[in-house]
Structure formats: structure tokens, C-alpha cells
Amino acid sequence: MPELPEVETIRRQLREKIVGKKLDGPPAGEAGKKIVDVRRRAKILIIDFSDGSSLIFHLKLTGQLIFNGESSKHTRHIFKFDDGSRLVFNDIRKFGWWKYVKSSKDIEKTFGPEALEVDLKTFKEVLKKSPNAKIKPLLMDQKVIAGIGNIYSDEILFTAKVQPVRSIKTLKPEEIGAIWSNIGRILKLAIKNRGTSERDYIDALGKKGDYLKYLKVYRKEGQKCPRCSGVIKRIKIGGRSAHFCPKCQR
């Protein structure tokens, strides 16, 4: 579940907590390596060491990274540091993963432009490459735009007043502009509120995110639309759920 806002929240918190520390007895015999940065690419978290190598994490559905967290039956690994602090990796459903790599470049280049960094011109060019694709799945395709998942694609399209099933070729210039502008606006607001804790997500300090109260349509099937008198509907697109208002989203 963690999307760009959740992973970015964890990144910012861990950057303050672990940069400058050295790993103490980590996997693959990498003890003593100094952490020089904590980065994010799409939905993955990257911990960089001074020799150019990295630890890469993908939290998938239920992964958690908690600084000085307590271990539990869901703990997959504990990364210890030279000052006695530690980073606990939990994962209830065990879909998440981590791995040590000598370079993160090969993994990073598999993603499209970052959702928070893509300009309008590039966004339009990306969309034009898939004229028959539906807009919601395209927004969630990490090779096209990196960082957006199920929650925020619903919220972005609702705010832009565009139905998730619309094909790219049917979108008007002003609709494309509205989608693009709301990508930045909504993701930034979600980061400010440390992400959405729908179920298992907690930040690196073990706290829930506060963005849940801002959600307009995600997981609100059957409820009244907050913008009009319509009723929020849930459909399946490519095996994933989409929530929208059929009255005010066109």
C-alpha cells in the first residue's frame, strides 16, 4: 500500500535518524559501512553507503520500517547500527523485500519520471504514447509515472473531475492540465500529513499518517459525493479497484 507520500515520509524521517551511522553486523558481511544518504525512487526506499553500495526496500502492501522499533512475530529483519540504535523491518503479509546492491542504478532506471518532478510538457508526452490506455491504470504504471498507486490515483482523478475509465485520447487539454496539477497538489498535501494510514501503514517513528481524513472518494463506495449530490461508485479496472463519482467526474 505505501505509495509516494508514505515512502517519502519514511525517507525524510530516516534521513534525520541514520545518516552518518555505520551498520553493525548487517547481512552479506557489510558491517562498518557508513550511511551517507536516504533516498526514494518511485515507491522504493534507498539507503546509500559511502562506497556507492545501497540497501533497497520495497514495502509492497504491509511493509514497515521503524527506527528503534520493537520486534514482533511480523519482524523480517533488524538492521543494527554502531551507536546501538536499530531499524526494524516488519511485514505482515511478507510481500515486501529488501536487498543489498553494489549500485542502485539498474533498479532506478526501470521507473518513469517522478510524479512530483514531472513537468506538464513531459506529462503530456508520456500520455500521448498510450492513447488507448485508461487514465487510472496509466497513472499507476510505475514505468510511466513513478510513485502513484491506488489511493492517490483515485483522489487525483476525483479532484480533476475525470472518470478513471477515460482513455487518454478522449482527454481534453484542460483535463490533462487538471490531472497534472492535482498530482503535485495532492501528493504534497499527503506528505505534509505523513501519508495515509488506511490499515497497516505507520511512519518510521511508529505513528499513523493523518491524510485519511482528507480522502474524498477512496474506499467510500456508497457514500455521498463531497462535491455534488452523486453517490460514490466502485468498479474494477484491470483487477484493481477504482472509486469515483459518476455524476461530477466526466
Catalytic residue numbers?
2-3, 43, 240
Residue 108: how many CA atoms within 13 Å on its side-chain side?
15
User: Which of 6, 20, 137, 173 lies closest to 83, judged by CA?
Assistant: 20
Residue 127 CB-density burial (10 A; 0-12 exposed, 13-18 middle, 19+ buried): buried
Q: Any idea what DSSP says for residue 19?
A: T
| 61/66 Cα distance (integer angstroms) | 16
